[in-house]
Structure 1
Amino acid sequence: MIRAAARKANSTELGNPDFTERLPRIVEAVEREANLHWIGRVAVRQSLEIGLESRFGLYRHRAEHPEIAGVPIEKPVFIVGFPRTGTTILFNLLAQDPANRTPQGWEVQFPNPPPERDTYTTDGRIKKAYKYFGQMDQMAPELPAIHEVGAQLPQECMPILAHTLLSPQPGIVYNIPSYQAWVDQQSAAPSYTYHRHFLEHLQSRYMKDRWVLKSPVHLRTLDALLDEYPDARLIFTHRDPAKTIPSLASLIYTIRGIVTDSVDAVSVGREQLEWWAESLDHAMAVREKHGNEPAQFVDIHFEDVIADPVAALRGAYERFEMPWSDDVENRMQAFLENNPRGKHGAHRYELDDFGLRIGEIRERFGGYCQTYGVPLVV
């Protein structure tokens, strides 16, 4: 697989040499634990091949254009809140600001060569990405109502980090607990080094004032993120875990249903409860270590996102000392009018569907809710 991707990308550069040791580990875990049907087996191979080709191509371009290395990435904004807390709508709204550079689905999926400013909205890879994401929607028609992704929508960081084979993405898409347990024990530093290289690649021919990025999985590795981007500005979103955990379990259940016929809803619920509780514990400890600096950390509650997301972001701009204007506000309001909540249907789920009990959620997340004043609505 590595040799085939190298030939296709016309490159032998992979960056970190340890990368080649990770591929057999994930392949073995998928074979042993994931119980994929034939579509799932095609999907995992396609995903790994695309990741390899992207990585080979990126480092080939980097070797040919060494001037892109080390170009500053100053004060990037990361949305790092818990899943199902309004992170996606805030990300989409931030993308409306002409000063904000967000990675779109097509350039994350097919990053080589780097996108050009003049052809950013007409690049031939956009059509290819629409086909790719359309296939996902066909296999799981309920997915857009839960979490919409698309060729020309802002794409979160997890698919970028997936190129390192040290990210949670494989463990989310496939039931491979041994691999996820191994990833959780590894240093995340190589992932964020690659993340920076990826952004340097994308920005080399098309950049704006600042990067705006998003992924809940950053909670798990917040220390590594801040080591790589010490001046990052972080937006934490909050919501009652009794709502987020079953919603997240429903999302994972749906995603895994694309690649296998044997998804155990209760196992998914237990797994997500504990993994995300550990991730929040880590993020809270990192914030405490950094002193919860007001100019670096902004908290936004889900209730505020629902009531007036533009006002919530206006407050974040003020804290981060980022320019705000009537034009920015009007662009965000226009996006909301054109994309009302529930546009793709309602997302329905229940605690009981995933073997979850309100009491254990309250106990496991009690410290988090108290620390950040999270309203309990269930």
Structure 2
Amino acid sequence: MQARALDQPYRSASIRFINAAGHFLERCNLPPARLTKQALLAKAIKRAGCRDFGDSGFHQGLDRLLESLEHEAELTPLGRLMAQEEIVGRLTSRLRLIDWRKRHPRVADEEIRQPLFILGLPRTGTTILHALLDVDPANRSPLFWELEHPVPPATPERWTSDPRIRKVERSLAHFEKLCPGIQAVHVMEARLQQECVAILAMDMRAEQFYTLYNVPSYAKWLLDEPKTFSLQFHRQTLQHLQSGGVAGERWLLKSPGHLHLIRNLLAVYPDANIIHTHRDPVTVCTSISSLTAMLRGVGSDAIDLRQIGRQQVEIWSEMLARAVAQRRQLADEGRGGQCFDLHMKEIVADPLAAVERIYAHFGYELKPSVKAAMAQFMRDNPRDKHGTHSYRPEDFGIDRQRDGARFREYCEYFGVDCGC
């Protein structure tokens, strides 16, 4: 297939047909997808077969998101259908989780001990590090399929054969048809480790929404959200997943969305350990812009690359500034040892050496058999296994000197070479 510019979204014949039919129905005052709160809640309740959403805090995020989707996202009819399904799916999972917890109260007794979080900017080697560390049976990661369909919790017997896996595989294959080339930019597989954003999305407070859709008002609101309720819901979700019996000594978790909320995270998980990854933030913002343009192009024809670039620089410069301030505070309080800093170039140069340093820092045992399995994993999963993608800062209006200045404190504090 011939390569397309990122501001010219891919449109197959089927996508064009769906959008044309949707526009016709809209002109007839019969919109194919209603993004009203009442309609979405009703759909989720009908699908889940229960109606208790638990803590009402999710309503605020849902209200903000829906307002941004209607007034800012410029969605096509297909985009509206996708947003509707995304939100209803997350709300349905929330309903089922809460219902399961009510019917199985012993889930609340599950202890979450010393979880290990991988934080840092996206595109800083976190995905390969997450997958590599997950090779160790002592580390338990949530998988893509079980966060898409968390009820009932996965069991050891069906960990790799649960019928929900095939359901998710079909969904991902369908999405790849809508967004060709996405696997070269962001690998998604049913049995792969999933980020915490899939949990936070059930509370309507997740960065994935402003990656999928142009919702700047929601993004601005989310940046100042302490996510208190979301992080408590996050802990409850881990208890639920753990209750199925899939074992591990510690949870292994990843999300750039925690980056500016390190203290909030440690308030919920005071014994957590954190791997903080680093890379030149100008390059990171360019890469995120490329991914964002691809994803938003599935559901909108209005793709402004320079707007996307500005948004990424603004969001991530603010998040990093807050991360630096909180890391300084932790160091002053004598809690700096809960964090381990790792640069992407170190992960790329020698992944196993990076793992050895992580284990030594936190006092984990790295068994010879596990180290050998990790080495085999790296041989089986070379870099760019799923293809490559290229991007240039100027395509997104990103200037290394001008925008790099916004990250100077972060680069100086963590010794990152930003080239500016």
Change beyond 3 A, Cα 1:361–1:339: same
User: C-alpha separation between the residues in 2 aligned to 1:21 and 1:253?
Assistant: 27
Shift of 1:144: 1.1
CA contact (8 A) 2:327 2:336 kept: no
2:307 is the counterpart of 1:295: no
2:374 is the counterpart of 1:335: no
Letter in 2 for 1:132: S
Q: 1:213 aligns to what SS in structure 2?
A: strand
2:406 is the counterpart of 1:364: yes
Q: 1:69 aligns to what SS in structure 2?
A: helix
- Residue in structure 2 matched with residue 50 of structure 1 by the alignment: 89
Shift of 1:361: 2.8
**For 1:188-239, what per-residue CA distance to the aligned partner results, in whole angstroms no more than 9, with x for missing partners?**
1011011111111111012311100001111132222111111111001111
- Residue in structure 2 matched with residue 316 of structure 1 by the alignment: 358
- Which of 265, 274, 280 pairs up with 1:234? 274
User: C-alpha separation between the residues in 2 aligned to 1:260 and 1:9?
Assistant: 29
User: C-alpha separation between the residues in 2 aligned to 1:219 and 1:187?
Assistant: 12
Letter in 1 for 2:357: G
**Which runs of structure 1 show a deviation greater than 6 angstroms over 4 or more consecutive aligned residues?**
none
Letter in 2 for 1:271: Q
Shift of 1:4: 2.7
Letter in 2 for 1:296: Q
- Residue in structure 1 matched with residue 175 of structure 2 by the alignment: 136
Letter in 2 for 1:95: D
* TM score, norm. by length of structure 1: 0.97
Q: How does 1:245-256 map to 2 (within 5 A)?
A: 245-256=285-296
Letter in 1 for 2:76: H
Q: How does 1:205-220 map to 2 (within 5 A)?
A: 205=244, 206-220=246-260
User: C-alpha separation between the residues in 1 aligned to 2:224 and 2:346?
Assistant: 36
- Which of 112, 120, 140 pairs up with 1:101? 140
Change beyond 3 A, Cα 1:63–1:262: same
CA contact (8 A) 2:110 2:242 kept: no
User: C-alpha separation between the residues in 2 aligned to 1:328 and 1:146?
Assistant: 28
Bigger Rg, structure 1 or 2: 2
CA contact (8 A) 1:219 1:283 kept: yes
Q: How does 1:337-356 map to 2 (within 5 A)?
A: 337-356=379-398
The percent identity for this pair of structures is: 38
User: C-alpha separation between the residues in 2 aligned to 1:16 and 1:213?
Assistant: 24
- Which of 96, 114, 118 pairs up with 1:79? 118
CA contact (8 A) 1:294 1:319 kept: no
CA contact (8 A) 1:166 1:188 kept: yes
Shift of 1:24: 3.6
Shift of 1:28: 2.6
User: C-alpha separation between the residues in 2 aligned to 1:342 and 1:120?
Assistant: 27
Shift of 1:329: 1.1
How many residues align structurally?
A: 378
Letter in 2 for 1:329: K
Unaligned runs of 5+ in 1: none
Change beyond 3 A, Cα 1:21–1:242: closer
2:207 is the counterpart of 1:162: no
* TM score, norm. by length of structure 2: 0.87
Letter in 2 for 1:116: T
- Residue in structure 2 matched with residue 204 of structure 1 by the alignment: 243
CA contact (8 A) 1:95 1:102 kept: yes
Letter in 1 for 2:188: V
**For 1:285-304, what per-residue CA distance to the aligned partner results, in whole angstroms no more than 9, with x for missing partners?**
11111117353111111111
Letter in 1 for 2:81: V
User: C-alpha separation between the residues in 2 aligned to 1:99 and 1:273?
Assistant: 37
CA contact (8 A) 2:107 2:239 kept: yes
- Residue in structure 1 matched with residue 17 of structure 2 by the alignment: none
Q: 2:124 aligns to what SS in structure 1?
A: coil
- Residue in structure 2 matched with residue 243 of structure 1 by the alignment: 283
CA contact (8 A) 1:241 1:361 kept: no
- Residue in structure 1 matched with residue 214 of structure 2 by the alignment: 175
- Which of 16, 19, 30 pairs up with 2:55? 16
Q: Please report the RMSD computed on the Cα atoms of aligned residues, expressed in angstroms.
A: 1.4
2:365 is the counterpart of 1:326: no
- Residue in structure 1 matched with residue 80 of structure 2 by the alignment: 41
Shift of 1:21: 4.5
Q: 2:276 aligns to what SS in structure 1?
A: strand
**For 1:286-324, what per-residue CA distance to the aligned partner results, in whole angstroms no more than 9, with x for missing partners?**
111111735311111111111111110110011111110
Letter in 2 for 1:253: A
**For 1:123-173, what per-residue CA distance to the aligned partner results, in whole angstroms no more than 9, with x for missing partners?**
000000101112222222221111111100000111111111122221221
User: C-alpha separation between the residues in 1 aligned to 2:284 and 2:57?
Assistant: 36
Shift of 1:77: 0.4
- Which of 258, 263, 271 pairs up with 2:303? 263
